[in-house]
Amino acid sequence: MPVDRQGVAPVQRERDLAEGRAIATVWTWFVHNQNKHDVPFSTIVLKVRAQCSSVNVERIQMEFARRHRRALQLGRWG
């Protein structure tokens, strides 16, 4: 399988981008709905995987935690 200069195969990079887009989309949905509903993490996982089935739970959890920390730092969570 060919790799780019960073040593990443094109298929892997495309999957990473697709996973990132799915997580970003669900994060946006979550931010707009978290005050209206108590959203369980299992719902978040289902929504992300509906868009990109290859995303593992650990990546979703890590990305949501990172985004939450960032929102707190910026004063956008409250």
Least-confidence region, from 8-12, 13-17, 66-70: 8-12
- pLDDT at position 14 is 75
Distance (Å, rounded) from C-alpha 4 to C-alpha 27? 30
Q: How many structural domains comprise the chain?
A: 1
Quick check: is 5 in a domain?
no
**pTM exceeds 0.95 for this model:** no
Q: 78 lies in a domain?
A: no
Q: What is the pLDDT of residue 67?
A: 95
CA distance 1 to 67: 33
2 within domain boundaries: no
Give pLDDT tens digits for 18-50.
999 999 999 999 998 877 778 899 999 999 999
Average per-residue pLDDT in the chain? 86
Question: Could you tell me if residue 16 is inside a domain?
Answer: yes
* Tokens read off for 67: 């985004």
Residue 3 lies in a domain: no
Q: Which domain holds residue 51?
A: 10-73
In a domain, 1, yes or no: no
